[in-house]
Structure 1
Amino acid sequence: MKINWKVRLKHKPFLVGAFALLLLIIQQIGVLFGYDTTIYNERVTELFNTVLAFLVLIGVVVDPTTSGTSDSEQALTYHKPKDDE
């Protein structure tokens, strides 16, 4: 798998998703070691986690080689993943 990390690390949605993923992982590790990670109450914590999960989703599934969150014109014409060979 080839990943152009220079492009990904300059892509804002990817960075937002990576940061949200990091927060979720820290929270889960805290729970694992017995720390109470409840923000205000259970519902607020669940809402916070849902927002973070959504940010992770859009940060991971976007095409970092284009601006915004849309796929490139070339990628929109694919019927299957492009084979690099």
Structure 2
Amino acid sequence: MKINWKVRLKHKQFLLGAFALLLLIIQQIGVLLGYDTTIYNERVTELFNTVLAFLVLIGVVVDPTTEGTNDSEQALKYEKPKDDK
């Protein structure tokens, strides 16, 4: 598996998704260790987690090798994933 981390770490959506994932993981570890991670009340905590999960999804779905959230013209023409072998 080859990943161009230089490009990914310069892409805002990827960084936002990675940060949101880190917050969710920290929260889950806190719950496992017995800490109360409720923000204000249960509903606010659930809403916060939903927003974080959405941000993680955006960071995963977006192509970090292009500007913004669109795929490149080349990627839009693919019928199947490109095989680099």
Task: Please state which band the TM-score falls in when normalised by the shorter chain.
Answer: over 0.9
Task: Give TM-score scaled by structure 1 length.
Answer: 0.98
2:40 aligns to what? Answer: 40
CA distance in 1 between counterparts of 2:70 and 2:19 reads 20
CA distance in 2 between counterparts of 1:47 and 1:76 reads 33
Residue 84 of structure 1: CA displacement? Answer: 0.4
Moved over 6 A (4+): none
Task: Give TM-score scaled by structure 2 length.
Answer: 0.98
Residue 61 of structure 1: CA displacement? Answer: 1.4
Residue 60 of structure 1: CA displacement? Answer: 1.2
1:1-85 equivalent positions in 2, closer than 5 A:
1-85=1-85
Residue 73 of structure 1: CA displacement? Answer: 0.8
Q: Among the aligned pairs, what percent are the same residue? A: 91
CA distance in 2 between counterparts of 1:79 and 1:36 reads 47
Greater Cα shift, 58-67 or 29-38: 58-67
Give the count of matched residue pairs.
Answer: 85
Aligned to 1:71, the other structure's residue is in SS state: coil
CA distance in 2 between counterparts of 1:73 and 1:66 reads 10
Aligned to 2:60, the other structure's residue is in SS state: helix
Q: Which runs of 5+ in 1 are unaligned?
A: none
Q: Which runs of 5+ in 2 are unaligned?
A: none
Once the two structures are superposed, residues 25-83 of structure 1 have per-residue CA deviations (whole angstroms, 9 ceiling, x without a partner) of: 00000000000000000000000000000000001111111011111111011111000
